[in-house]
Amino acid sequence: MDAKKRERYEKISIDLTRLVGGKENIQGVAHCATRLRIVLKDNDQADLKAIEDVDLAKGVFVAGDQVQIIFGAGLVNDVYEVFAEHNNMKNMSLSDLKTVANKKMNPLQRIIKALSDVFVDIMPGILAAALLTGLSGVLGNLDFVKANETLFGINRLINISSGAIFGFLPLAVAYSACKRFGGRPILGIVMGCIMLSNSLADAYAAAQGTVEVTTLRIFGLGVDLVGFQGGIIVALLMGFVTAKLDIFFEKKVPEVIRLLLSPLLTTLVGAILLFTIIGPAGRGLSSGITNALVWMTQNLGVFGYAVFSGLQQLVVITGLHHIFGAIEAQLLADTGRNFINPLMSVAIIAQGGAVLAYLAMHRKNVKVRELCIPSFISVLFGITEPALFGINLRYRFPIIGGCIGGALGGIVVYFTNLAALGFGTTVVPGIALADPAGNGYVNYIIAHAVAIAGGFIMTLVLGRFMDQAPAAAAAAEARKETVAEGTGTGTAGAGMQEDALEELEAPEEESFFGYANGRQIPMEEVKDETFANKVLGDGAAVIPEEGKVYAPADGTVLSVFDTKHAVCFASKYGTEILIHIGVDTVNLQGKYFTAHVKDGDAVKKGQLMIEFDKEQIQKAGYDTVIPMIFTDLPDDRRLEVSAPGKMTADRAAAVIRKA
């Protein structure tokens, strides 16, 4: 690193240290491929708005308990090195940083995060069941399906499939909870099997009094042999208890008999606790939650709905919204209908309406367009964090307008008796979960139209009195553009062997071919906000079939990351790209990755650059999607990404043309 660059990075480090509250407020620092990640003792001391204007910073947001500042590939390595040295915190890994962040959480936050983690693993199954239930409901109402024996049979199979998944949901929850809390997952499955054993009376039949229930006497307590169908809360509690029992007996039982005795004791003690303490307590808690929600709908009426949908996105800001998954699952198990899902959905789309209103008010501001458009696209798929933290909270009045719009949507949900047959997805894909009874799909669309229109209009109205951003934002944008133009840094591989690249005059059209064999998808579908929102630039993404990454064109390797999960590359015409293997795979610290090129290597199109063990990375819990990002396209160039489909070495993933 030359003296001039180091001086610049030292200035950035000094500014950042001051803006996050000083050295004494910094608990940890690390970086991934594009972001500097900082854990602070007190996030309130950080001036996020001012950090956005720090030299070379492309954006800032708070994710969990980390302040994440986007600098871009290559550049972030150099900034981190100087910043960490300035604050005496070098050699801290991302896993170390996450440990620090978790310690910072209070007990309630840790509980909420744990609940969220439990449902993340089993969400695909829940979504499958919900979508199949909705599909079965639609087909079951069509006369030609009823009249055709084949279609009727297929619909019957769909109905059986959806019912089976929901029927065994407690087993899945017990498995996931046991795994999350450190126990052996198979013991969670065993406990789930006990809960649903056919030796027990069916819980629904027992509640209706249509089946005889056997009662045992254990320790003087009457124990009813009733199953736990629909017992989501009980399954959560039992997953936790089973994990802790497993850990306890694994430590206490002598090694010579541990394999036989430890799982036996875990299962036996767990079963006794299930029927004597945890089962009854869990049933009481479940009943209380469901009764409270039903009471709200019956006694607070439209006011209760409006308050819930109006304030739900404020709950998202606190991170407490993850608990709704467990409540929705229990509500479905007890009543068969989930009115919370459409209320959350209208609350989400209303924040999207607020984003559109802010965009309309500042449509000439380039930075506002870059923030608002991808944020709104995320909202359409039920993800509001970019909109909330990037725009609505930041400028205050849009969050108010969005909350009002959400309340208006909740009123429509109430009067149309709208509900869902599942949970886990909202807004555009969420329509598939809507209960079709009583024109449910039409009502779903109407409720969302009212919410987005309400959020849009109320934000415009409030903006007339509360918007103070235009002058300051325009000035900041002008300063950043001046700095960027004057330095030419802040892009992938910035300042890395720039003089060594012999660039040719760019042609009218430049193609970048398949860099990985697999299925190409739009960048918006990558499950990472930075990539999906194109913070680092537009590009393509591939779901790989094999663990190999090839050069997409003739060019030069600017930088291979130490962790080998990403490579910065420049074509022979000087077009810079970042190829990033997987999401959050920097945490693997290079495990399962092999680099076949090094910094400064000249490569030919189709040359193998990186190999990785796709199966092992997936087993470790990481998404292996591979984005290819064009980080610094000139203004006179436009990018055309190929349509989704099969990606091979002879198919162009993207083409750059003169604008």
Q: What is the set of active-site residues?
A: 32
How far apart (Å, rounded) are the C-alpha atoms in residues 352 and 427?
10
Q: Can you tell me whether residue 564 is helix, strand or coil?
A: coil
Decide: 100 and 106 in contact? Cβ < 8 Å. Answer: no
Residues written for the chain = 659
* Helical axes 440-466 vs 340-361, angle rounded to 10°: 40
Give the ranges where 87-224 is alpha helix by DSSP (H): 94-104, 107-140, 143-147, 149-167, 169-180, 185-195, 203-208
Q: Facing residues of 63 across strands?
A: 66
How far apart (Å, rounded) are the C-alpha atoms in residues 477 and 464?
22
How far apart (Å, rounded) are the C-alpha atoms in residues 379 and 427?
8
Q: Can you tell me whether residue 428 is helix, strand or coil?
A: helix
DSSP string, 264-288: HHHHHHHHHHIIIIIHHHHHHHHHH
How far apart (Å, rounded) are the C-alpha atoms in residues 306 and 450?
13
How far apart (Å, rounded) are the C-alpha atoms in residues 534 and 522?
11
How far apart (Å, rounded) are the C-alpha atoms in residues 61 and 552?
32
CA separation, residue 167 to residues 283, 304, 498 (Å): 17, 30, 61
Q: Which residues lie closer than 8 Å to 468 by C-beta, 6 or more apart?
A: none
